[in-house]
Amino acid sequence: MRVRVFWFIAVAVGSLLMAGPVGAQAPDTGMAAMMAQWAKYATPGPHHQEMAKMVGKWTATVKTWMAPGTPPMESQGMGEFTMVLGGRYLIQDFKSQMMGQPFEGMGISAYDNFRGRYVDVWVDNMSTGMMISYGTADSTGKVFTYKGKMDDVMSGKKDVPIRTVMRIIDNDTQMMEMYGPDQTGKEYKTMEMVYKRQK
């Protein structure tokens, strides 16, 4: 991973050096076009501005279903959202209780200008893996649907499909629902989180 990061940085720096000093004429139109494309890809836009509306502290009411038809386990949590790296990524730090144990999680959300889709990465203190999902928004821009895969360590299954729906109710209320397969493979709601902005 470290080698890949260094390689990426080397390519980026090399491209900038080949472009010449700031204000100098590009050596050819091909290089100028490539640099313009790079700038377009790297510049935060309207999708990032919408993500920035989550910045702040939120309380969360969490419901978790271990199986279809069972009563949910309920807990309270707190999330703090910040934008980093020049408004390109939304970071969430989340704390709650899970099965009577302290729960801490971290999410990184992005909008990939190049691929034209949302990306969400989640890690927490109850696993050593990473959950990666890719999403799109509906026509209203208030409902986001993500699809990804996660490992189910309880059953030993890998790459279990999951679906997450994030709904913007209003400026101070958001709801996240997560769905996954039951033992027969039928999808059911496994989690619901209602966020309320702290004031």
What are 148-170's pLDDT values in tens digits? Answer: 999 888 888 899 999 999 999 99
pLDDT value of residue 189? 97
pLDDT value of residue 27? 55
Using the predicted structure, report yes or no on whether residue 32 has a pLDDT greater than 70.
yes
pLDDT value of residue 28? 66
**Whole-number Å distance between alpha carbons of 40 and 90:** 19
Using the predicted structure, report yes or no on whether residue 45 has a pLDDT greater than 50.
yes
Which of the pair, 153 or 131, is modelled with greater confidence?
Answer: 131
Using the predicted structure, report yes or no on whether residue 16 has a pLDDT greater than 50.
no
CA 81 from chain center: how many Å? 12
Tokens coding 72: 């949910």
Confidence bin at 29 (pLDDT 50/70/90): confident
**Whole-number Å distance between alpha carbons of 196 and 171:** 9
Return the CATH number of 46-197, one of 2.40.128.20, 2.10.77.10, 3.60.15.10, 2.40.50.140: 2.40.128.20
Mean pLDDT of 112-123: 97
Q: Which residue has the tokens 């619901």?
A: 192
pLDDT value of residue 17? 42
Confidence bin at 99 (pLDDT 50/70/90): confident
Q: Please, which residues have CB within 8 angstroms of residue 52's CB and are 6 or more apart in sequence?
A: 83, 87, 90
Which DSSP string corresponds to 140-161?
TSSEEEEEEEEEETTTTEEEEE
Global confidence as pTM: 0.82
CATH 2.40.128.20 range(s) for the chain read 46-197
Which helix or strand (DSSP H or E) is residue 5 part of? helix 2-19
Percent of the chain past pLDDT 90, that is, above it, reads: 75
Mean pLDDT of 60-89: 96
